[in-house]
């Protein structure tokens, strides 16, 4: 039998530094896999949640640190806050994207852009919190690249890099990919649909995975994609049905409908509606505004989603210790840990059994110790070792 592809990692040896770590989406997944994480996060409320959850946390500004401050880290991850970019037209979104892509080129060429980024920060400080012009965020989205390039300069390159954000950030990740490939990384990036990985929610995330050793590829779907009006039994037979809100929220014992006013301008005809036998719409910081009604003729208004239930729709453990203020925003900002587990495992060249992931997602939160991973994983076999590579193993995404 052909030996498996050599791996640099066993999970107990891996150290990860997570930039803009938030309340812990990637970090929860890392914990399940037995990976040690130090998360850097500025937001007070997110740090309170992280501390309550027992996650390694440095409450500070990512820009104040660099790779030398975390010399044992072999994996870099992050989800930097970003403004809305667009590849179309000539408006503010397009100008912001052009600014960032220009900075990426200059950073790759070795230019020092720190003074210009600092000026952006000062401009935003003068503008005040209510009138931010987005320039500071243009600087923050460049931080993971700064870390990656500095680590290369210090001859301590990261073995793997994982980045995630909203789909409009994909052009930035594609620009990152070009820079990293020139420096020896294998890179894949694209947009993933969360329900295709067992998350009871339709959400899209732009993902970048870079590896120094071995092929880089996005995780492959385990569940069918959701289409409005299409039965969950339809689709590729080897994939599992998408997961419903009822599947996730077991304590709700009657069918319900979620009605969202978000983005409708109050027009009842435009309100988003999802039944409990469907996945949730994207969980955002506005989820506490959603109204729930019983299904059927009675049409009774039900209790709104609790913070714990909102977390479960994101696949956080049901007893995850959300703390501080603005919890709905914390929940909505996070990457779903279940998706993050697939992404992180792909970056590490590892795989796990779907049933094992189901168990850890449903289990109580227990920080425990990292040398006993809750989600066992093994090195990915080379294609020659696999009897068949099903067509459905191709990711439903665009790969750089």
Please name the residue that has the structure tokens 């500071």.
Answer: 136
Extract the tokens encoding 7: 């791996």
User: What gap in Å lies between CA 92 and CA 166, rounded to an integer?
Assistant: 17
What is the three-class DSSP state of 350? Answer: strand
Give the CA distances from residue 69 to residues 15, 58, 63, 64, 90, in Å, rounded to whole numbers and listed in that order: 13, 11, 12, 10, 40
Extract the tokens encoding 167: 């789909």
Give every CB contact of residue 50 below 8 A, 6+ residues apart in sequence.
21, 23, 24, 27, 39, 41, 57
User: What gap in Å lies between CA 334 and CA 77, rounded to an integer?
Assistant: 13
Burial class (CB in 10 A: 0-12, 13-18, 19+), 148: buried
Do residues 347 and 8 lie in contact, with contact meaning Cβ atoms separated by under 8 Å? no
- Helix 143-153 / helix 92-108 crossing angle, nearest 10 deg: 0
Please name the residue that has the structure tokens 């789909």.
Answer: 167
Name the strand (E) or helix (H) holding 260: strand 256-260
Question: Virtual CA dihedral for 388, 360, 330, 124, nearest 10 degrees?
Answer: -50
The one catalytic residue among 40, 75, 82, 292: 82
User: Closest by alpha carbon to 214, among 318, 347, 99, 89?
Assistant: 347
Sign (positive/negative) of CA torsion 150, 156, 157, 158? negative
What is the CA 307 to chain-centroid distance, rounded? 19
Residue-wise DSSP of 70-103: STT--EEEE--------SSSSSHHHHHHHHHHHH
In the annotation, is 47 catalytic? Answer: no
User: What gap in Å lies between CA 384 and CA 390, rounded to an integer?
Assistant: 14
Q: Where in the sequence numbering do the catalytic residues fall? A: 82
């Amino acid at each position: 039998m052909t030996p498996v592809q050599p791996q640099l990692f066993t999970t107990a040896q891996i150290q990860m530094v997570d930039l803009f770590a938030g309340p812990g989406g990637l970090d929860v997944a890392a914990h399940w896999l037995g990976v040690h994480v130090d998360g850097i996060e500025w937001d007070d409320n997110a740090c309170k949640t992280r501390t309550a959850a027992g996650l390694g946390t440095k409450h500070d500004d990512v820009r104040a640190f660099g790779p030398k401050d975390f010399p044992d880290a072999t994996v870099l991850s992050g989800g930097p806050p970003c403004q809305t970019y667009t590849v179309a037209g000539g408006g503010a979104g397009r100008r912001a994207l052009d600014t960032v892509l220009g900075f990426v080129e200059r950073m790759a060429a070795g230019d020092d852009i720190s003074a210009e980024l600092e000026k952006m920060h000062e401009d935003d400080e003068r503008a005040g919190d209510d009138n931010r012009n987005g320039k500071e965020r243009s600087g923050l989205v460049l931080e993971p690249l700064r870390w990656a390039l500095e680590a290369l300069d210090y001859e301590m390159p990261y073995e793997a890099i994982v980045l995630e954000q909203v789909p409009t950030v994909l052009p930035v990740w594609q620009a990152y990919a070009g820079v990293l490939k020139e420096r020896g990384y294998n890179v894949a990036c694209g947009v993933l649909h969360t329900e295709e990985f067992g998350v009871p929610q339709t959400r899209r995330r732009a993902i970048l995975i870079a590896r120094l050793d071995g092929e880089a590829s996005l995780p492959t779907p385990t569940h069918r994609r959701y289409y409005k009006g299409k039965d969950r039994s339809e689709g590729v037979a080897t994939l599992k049905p998408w997961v419903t809100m009822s599947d996730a929220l077991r304590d709700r014992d009657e069918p319900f409908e979620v009605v969202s006013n978000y983005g409708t301008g109050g027009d009842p005809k435009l309100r988003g509606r999802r039944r409990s036998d469907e996945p949730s719409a994207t969980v955002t910081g506005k989820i506490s505004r959603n109204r729930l009604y019983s299904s059927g003729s009675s049409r009774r208004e039900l209790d709104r989603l609790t913070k714990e239930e909102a977390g479960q729709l994101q696949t956080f453990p049901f007893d995850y210790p959300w703390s501080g203020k603005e919890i709905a925003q914390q929940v909505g900002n996070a990457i779903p840990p279940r998706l993050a587990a697939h992404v992180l495992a792909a970056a590490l060249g590892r795989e796990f059994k779907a049933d094992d992931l189901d168990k850890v997602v449903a289990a109580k939160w227990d920080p425990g110790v990292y040398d006993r991973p809750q989600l066992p994983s093994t090195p990915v076999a080379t294609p020659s070792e696999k009897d068949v590579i099903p067509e459905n193993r191709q990711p439903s995404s665009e790969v750089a």
